[in-house]
Amino acid sequence: MITAFDLSSFFTDKYYETNLNFEIFRMTISLLIMPIFYLYVKAVCHSDFRLKPKHLTLIIPFVITTLVFIPRFYLATTIESIYIYEHFKQMLEVRFFYILAELQYAFYIVLVFIILKKYKEIYLENYTNTNNSSYKWLFQMTVFFLIAHCIVFFKSFIRYTDYNAFLNTSNVIIGTIALIISCWFVLKALNNPGLFKGVDSNMLLVNEAVISTEKESFQAPKSTEIASQIELLEKYVLENEPYLEPSLTIQELSKQVNMPVRDLSILINHHINQHFFDFINEYRIQKAMQILKNPSKSKLTILEILYEVGFNSKSSFNTAFKKHTNKTPTEFRNS
């Protein structure tokens, strides 16, 4: 809604003289777009995310800019408004706004990419579904927003040059991109209501967990103890086949093997040196290979087999199978 309000400038630019306050408010409220997008990304990535009073600090740039605009803009008389309109680009307050907006955007876009990177790493270390749609979708959306903003930045830059004719073209491009993103956003949400699967924000990456564990305990686990834990884990997985559950997570497996989540994560990701989904998928692929070798199950289709061993998409099954065997399932069956 705020983005739509910001884009309304396409229809209000010519009304500066009579609607100066409205135009200034439209400009300053755009400073809330990136903080809200940042909170949205956190809400999608972290299943335990909740709005807190501390998040009000994100509106500080908006408040500061509003205070800066009050003396000479919001309190301007009609005659002063005409002067401001004629010298709008040169006004210090306006230049301050554009500089602050660019700095704020750069700060939040970097922050969003950092959150997405950590989310992806935690997801790979703790979940078995390789089809990480929420990460891909958020990453694509962020890139699209970045491209659109580059065009906006270009528009703001040429505003102070003699190439004002490009402004109309850039407005059309920005409007078109905004329309495409909005339609894509809505259709994606409608077609994939279960798209998002956040991770616990308190979960640590394995490297962080290892460091934390070392600080908590001066005595590191012995290699024989680690080997014993790995043996028990592999035995449990082979005998009980928990990997047949498509949505298996490391939290669920930790309950089954009666081991703290952090310890199990370190054991698999650090000591076995595999991501959790690679560890689990290896057993799924071995199970699939047994079925493909079995003459009595030769009538089963590849699709039936991948569902039977715990995968939920053909693409992720084919990718994992080729990674482990260097062959497609069909090639393996024929050989």
On whether the CB atoms of residues 203 and 250 are closer than 8 A, the answer is no
| Residues 114, 126: Cα–Cα separation, whole Å | 18
Please tell me the pTM assigned to this model.
Answer: 0.59
- The proportion of the chain whose per-residue pLDDT surpasses 90, expressed as a percent, equals 11
Kindly report, residue by residue over 227-252, the tens digit of the pLDDT.
Answer: 888 888 889 988 888 888 887 878 88
Query: What is the pLDDT, as a whole number, of residue 15?
Result: 46
Mean pLDDT in residue range 80-98: 84
Determine the pLDDT at residue 215.
Answer: 47
Mean local confidence (pLDDT), 110-115: 89
Residue that is written with structure tokens 């528009």 in the block: 155
Percent of residues, the chain, with pLDDT higher than 70: 78
| Amino acid 66: pLDDT | 93
What does the pLDDT average to over 171-180? 73
Using 50, 70 and 90 to split pLDDT, how confident is the model at 189? low
Report the pLDDT value the prediction gives residue 322, as an integer from 0 to 100: 87
Quick one: average pLDDT of 80-84? 81
